[in-house]
Structure 1
Amino acid sequence: MRRPELAALLAGAAGVLCFAPFDLFWLAPLPWLALFALWRQAPDARRAALVGFLFGLGFFLAGVSWIYVSLSVFGGMPWWLAGPATLLFCTAMALYPTLAGWLFKRWQPAGFWRQALWFAVLIAAADWLRGWLFTGFPWLAIGYTQAPPSPLAGFAPLIGVYGLSLLLALSAALLLRWRVGLPVLALLLATGFGLRQLEWTQPVGEPVSVALLQGNIPQDMKFNPDNFVRTLLRYRDMIAAHPARLTILPETALPAFLDRLPPEYLDELSTLARQHGGDIVVGTLTGNPETGYYNSAVSLGSAPQQTYSKQHLVPFGEFIPAGFAWFMAQANIPMSAFSAGPSRPAALSVAGQLVAFNICYEDVFGEEIIRTLPQAGMLANLSNTAWFGRSLAQPQHLQIARMRSAETGRPSLRATNTGMTAIIDARGDVVSALAPFETAVLTGEVRAYQGSTPYIAWGNLGFLVLLLAGAGAAQIRRAASAAGSPAPGADARP
C-alpha cells in the first residue's frame, strides 16, 4: 500500500474520534483536511477514488464495528459469516466517499477556493445521499460531530445535520491554507455561537413529571419464554416505585404481542397511570397475519389507548430484503419480518401533551422526525440497543438524539433497555442520563415547547439550496478558468 493510501485509511479511522463517546468535535476538521490534501495531490480520478475508498473503509470499520456484535454475539451468526458480512457492509458504505473522490478529481476546478468549495459540496452530498439511498444509513454523517456543545450546533435549527457536514468540510479544506482557513473557521464558530443564543421555540404549559425505564434485560434473555413473567414483573415494580404523569418503557419492553399479554397485567398498568392522572407508553408488538406485524409504542392510562407503529424499518433487523432469506437463516434474530407503520404518523396525546414518538433507528432521519411538528411539544424515542453490547452504538445514538433536539427546538425523552436513557433539553444538551447496563429509572420534569425552527419548516431544503449554490460556484467557468490555469491537481501548495 502506498503512503497516500495508508494515510487515507488511518485518517478515516481517526475520524471516529470526533464522534461520541470521544466527543473531540474540535478535532473534526483534521481528518477531512487530510482527505482534501490527498485528493488534491492524487494524479488522476482513479487514484482519488481509491483514496476515498480507503478513507471510508477505515472510517466505517472503526465507527460501526458494532454491526459485527449484533450479527455474531447476539444474532448467533457464525464468525466466519458475520465478519465478512460486516466488512461487506463497510465496503458498501465506503463507496460514497469513493464516488466523491472520483468526482472531485474528474471535475476539479482551478483555484484553491473553488477546490475547497467543491470538496465540501461532495462530502456533504455523500452524507445526504447515504441518508436515503437504499432506505438510508445516515449514521456517522460528519455533521453529528458538531452536536452540542460545539458552537457550530447553532446552525442546526437552520440547515440541519447535513448543513453542518457542509460547513465542517469547507472549514477543513480551507485550513490547508491556515491564513485563510483560520479566520473563516473563527467566523463560523462565532456565528454559530451567536445563533446558539437565539430562542427559536418557547416553553409552554407546566412541567410534566416523567419516568424513563431502563430495564437492562439481557438480549439473550429478552425473548426467552422462561424469563417472560420476570420481565413483566420487573417493569411493573419499576413503574409502581417511580410514579409520574408520563412513564415510557423501552422498545419491545413487553416482549409479546399486545393481544397476548395478560389482560389483568395491562389493567394494572393502566390503573397505576390513572392514579397520577397520566399515561404509560410501552414498547410492544402489535398486528396479526392479515394486517401485518408492527414494532409499536402503545399508551395505557388516562387518555384513550393510542398506538404508534415504527414506519422506517431496519434492513435485515426488521425486514428481509428480497433475495436475502438465506442470509438471515444463518442468524437468530427474532421478529425480523415487520410491516411498516403509517408514513404520516400522528403525535400521541399523553399526559396532557402531544408527543412525537419514534422507535430506535428512526431518529436518525431528521426529515421524518419533523412530520409531526410543530404540533408536538416534545420528542420521545424508545430503543433497545442491547443488540450492540458495550460498543460505540449507544453513545453515538445519544449524540444523534441531541442533534434532533437542536434541529427542532424540542426536548427529547429516551427510554432504552440498556442505554443511553436520557432527558435532552430543547437546545440539544443532556439534562440527565442513566449509566448504561444498569437497571434504573430516570425521573425528571420536562416542559413542552411550541414554535418552529427553520428546519421544522423546510427540512433539508435549506441545505440543498446551499449545496446547489456551492456546486454552481465551484464549477462556474471551470473550463474557462482551466484554460489559463495549471492543470487540475497542479496547484497543490499548502
Structure 2
Amino acid sequence: MAWPFPFGSVVGLVQGQPAGGLQLLALALLAGQLDGARSWQRGACLGSLFATTMMCATFWWLFISLHTYGGLAAPLTVAAIVLLSALLGLYYAAAAGLFVALAPARPALRALVFAALWLLAELARVRLLTGFPWGEGGYAHVDGWARPLAAWVGVHGLTFMAAWVAAWLAFCVLATKTRWVSAGALAVLSVLLAWLPVFNIADVEADPALVKPLSVTLLQGNIPQDEKFVGGTGVISALRWYGEQLGEAKTALVVAPETALPLLPQQLPEGYWDALQARFATGTQAALIGLPLGDYNTGYSNSVLGFKPALPSAAGQPAPPPYRYDKHHLVPFGEVIPPGFHWFIKLMNIPLGDFNRGAVGQPSFDWQGQRLAPNICYEDLFGEELGARFVDAASAPTIFVNVSNIGWFGNTVAIDQHLQISRMRSLEFGRPMIRATNTGATVIINHRGEVTHSLPRHTRGALVGDVQGRSGVTPYAWWVGRFGLWPLWALGLVIASGAFAGRRR
C-alpha cells in the first residue's frame, strides 16, 4: 500500500509510494503454500497467520495513538493490535481453508477460485463489525497496470484481479504437465496488463460549464496531538492560527481540517463565532471548516460547516445558513464504542465517545458552479458510500473534499497510506480531491489520481492552488451508487459456488 522505508530505490521502491509488485509476490507465496496444504485446517492456519501478520504490519501505528497519546500500557497496546489483526484475520482463514477444500485442478480455474475467496474475505472486512478495510491489497496498484481499470471495477475489483494474477503465477511455477502452456498464457496476460496504462479507457471529460478552475487554500495547522485539546496550549494555538488564516485567505475557497476548531461553537471565546460568520457573509469567498457540533441533550457529531455569501441576485439579503456535513462512517473505538468495550476506552487518556452518525449521500456544498462533497478522515476509505452521491448525475459532486487529522499516528506511513486511499477514490470516480489535514498529507489530487500540489508533512502552512472540477459518471460510480458492493459479492459467491459444485461432481 505504501513502502515504509527510506531504502529500496535500487529495486524501484520509493518511500511512501505503493509497491504493487511486492503485493503480488506476497499473495503468490501464500497461494503456493495453500496449493501444497494437505487439509483445510492447515490452509486456515496459513491464511490466519498471513492475514494477522499483514494487518499488524499495515496499521502498527495504532500503537502511537493508544500508547503514546492514549497512555495505554505498552504490553496491552501490543496485545490489542495483535488481537484486532487476528480477529480480522479470521475472514482470510475461512477463505484459505475453503480454497484448500474446493480448489479445482486447472491452474487458471484454481487461481480464479483463490481470487474469489480472497475478494469475499476483503468484502467481509469492509462490511462486518462497522468495517475496517484499511490496507486492502488493491491500493497497492493505484499506479501502473490497474489505473485504467479503477474507474470500472473499483479497488475491490483490483483486489480480485491482483489475487487472480498472483495465484496464477504461483500455480504456473508449481505446475508440471501444464507449466509451459500456463506460463505462456500468463506472459501474454502480463504484456496486456503492462500496456493498459497507455489506453485512457476510463477518462472522464470535464463539463464545459466547469472549465474555470476553483482557487483553494488548504490549511495545515500542525497542532501537536498531545496539545490539541488542551485549553492552555493547543486550543489557543489552533483558534489563533486558524482564525488568522481564515481571515487572510485570498482564494475562492478556504478549507480547514478535521476539528481545526477543537471546541463546540458555544464554547468559543466571545465574538469569535460571530466574527467567523461575518467574514464569509459578504464578498466572493467561502469556507469549509471542521469542528465538533452538538450538545449534551442531542448528542455530538464530527462535522464540517460551510460558509458562503448570499448570491448576487439576493443582494441586501442575509447570508444563507451554514452548510453542514456530519460524519457518517465513525471510527470504531474512536468515535463509536462497541457494546461491552467501555472498560477498554476508560484505560486511555483520549477524548473519545459515542458520536451521532450523519446520513449516507448528504448534499454537496454548492459554490461557484462546483459541487463540493466533504468526507471526514477515513470516510474516503468507503467508496461505496461516496458512490451514493452519484445516482443522480445532475447533482453528483464535482470535487471531493477530505478533512483529516492523522496526527494521532505520528509521522508514520499512515499518512502515505491515507494518501493512496484518496488517490484511489479519485481514480474510481474521475473526480479531483482536495485534502486539508492537521499534519499531512495536505494535497490537491486531480481526477487521474495524481498529486499536483502538496505541503511538507508535519509543518504549519497554507497550500494554495487551483483544482479543476469534473462531471460525468464513471462506470464504477454508476453501478456502485445503485447496487453498492452486491455485484462483487455475487461474483465471489458464484465462483465459489461453482467450485463447490465441481468438487462434489
Name the CA distance, whole Å, in 2 between partners of 1:188 and 1:58.
Answer: 29
Whether 1:220 and 2:226 are equivalent positions in the alignment is yes
Equivalent AA in structure 2 for residue 139 of structure 1:
W
Q: Would you say the 8 A contact 1:202–1:451 is kept in 2?
A: yes
Q: Would you say the 8 A contact 1:18–1:28 is kept in 2?
A: no
Deviations 1:15-67 (CA, angstroms, capped at 9, x unpaired): xx999724222333111110110000011111111111111122111111011
C-alpha spacing 1:408/1:97, structure 2 compared with 1 (3 Å) = same
The residue number in structure 1 matching 2:153 is 159
Q: Would you say the 8 A contact 1:259–1:286 is kept in 2?
A: no
1:19-418 alignment runs, 5 A limit: 21-147=16-142, 149-176=143-170, 177=172, 178-191=183-196, 193-194=198-199, 196-203=200-207, 204-227=210-233, 228-262=235-269, 264-273=271-280, 276-302=283-309, 304=320, 305-373=322-390, 374=393, 375-418=396-439
Q: Would you say the 8 A contact 1:278–1:351 is kept in 2?
A: no
What's the CA shift for 1:271? 4.2
What stretches of structure 2 of length at least 5 have no aligned partner? Answer: 1-7, 173-182, 311-319
Q: Would you say the 8 A contact 1:273–1:300 is kept in 2?
A: yes
SS in 1 for 2:412: coil
Name the CA distance, whole Å, in 2 between partners of 1:270 and 1:447.
Answer: 27
Q: TM-score, normalised by structure 2?
A: 0.87
Name the CA distance, whole Å, in 2 between partners of 1:464 and 1:281.
Answer: 36
C-alpha spacing 1:385/1:285, structure 2 compared with 1 (3 Å) = same
Name the CA distance, whole Å, in 1 between partners of 2:197 and 2:116.
Answer: 20
**Aligned positions, number:** 463
Name the CA distance, whole Å, in 2 between partners of 1:287 and 1:424.
Answer: 32
What's the CA shift for 1:336? 2.1
Q: Would you say the 8 A contact 2:265–2:273 is kept in 1?
A: no
The residue number in structure 1 matching 2:179 is none
Q: Would you say the 8 A contact 1:69–1:389 is kept in 2?
A: yes
What stretches of structure 1 of length at least 5 have no aligned partner? Answer: 1-13, 481-494
Q: TM-score, normalised by structure 1?
A: 0.89
The residue number in structure 1 matching 2:446 is 425
Equivalent AA in structure 2 for residue 281 of structure 1:
L
Name the CA distance, whole Å, in 2 between partners of 1:475 and 1:200.
Answer: 40
Q: Would you say the 8 A contact 1:245–1:276 is kept in 2?
A: no
The residue number in structure 2 matching 1:467 is 492
Q: Would you say the 8 A contact 2:18–2:139 is kept in 1?
A: no
C-alpha spacing 1:238/1:126, structure 2 compared with 1 (3 Å) = same
Name the CA distance, whole Å, in 1 between partners of 2:47 and 2:141.
Answer: 22
What's the CA shift for 1:473? 5.5
Equivalent AA in structure 2 for residue 378 of structure 1:
I
The alignment's C-alpha RMSD in Å is 2.1
Equivalent AA in structure 2 for residue 200 of structure 1:
V
Equivalent AA in structure 1 for residue 296 of structure 2:
P
What's the CA shift for 1:314? 0.8
Name the CA distance, whole Å, in 1 between partners of 2:491 and 2:13.
Answer: 24
SS in 1 for 2:287: strand
C-alpha spacing 1:351/1:252, structure 2 compared with 1 (3 Å) = farther
What's the CA shift for 1:464? 4.0
Name the CA distance, whole Å, in 1 between partners of 2:385 and 2:167.
Answer: 31
The residue number in structure 1 matching 2:478 is 457
Equivalent AA in structure 2 for residue 63 of structure 1:
T
C-alpha spacing 1:136/1:166, structure 2 compared with 1 (3 Å) = same
Q: Would you say the 8 A contact 1:18–1:25 is kept in 2?
A: no
Name the CA distance, whole Å, in 1 between partners of 2:323 and 2:42.
Answer: 55
What's the CA shift for 1:363? 0.7
The residue number in structure 2 matching 1:490 is none
Q: Would you say the 8 A contact 2:204–2:473 is kept in 1?
A: yes
Name the CA distance, whole Å, in 1 between partners of 2:219 and 2:454.
Answer: 11
Deviations 1:391-410 (CA, angstroms, capped at 9, x unpaired): 22111001000001100011
Name the CA distance, whole Å, in 2 between partners of 1:122 and 1:115.
Answer: 11
Deviates more, 1:263-272 or 1:319-328: 263-272
Q: Would you say the 8 A contact 2:254–2:286 is kept in 1?
A: yes
Equivalent AA in structure 2 for residue 412 of structure 1:
M
Q: Would you say the 8 A contact 2:432–2:470 is kept in 1?
A: yes
Name the CA distance, whole Å, in 1 between partners of 2:148 and 2:242.
Answer: 38
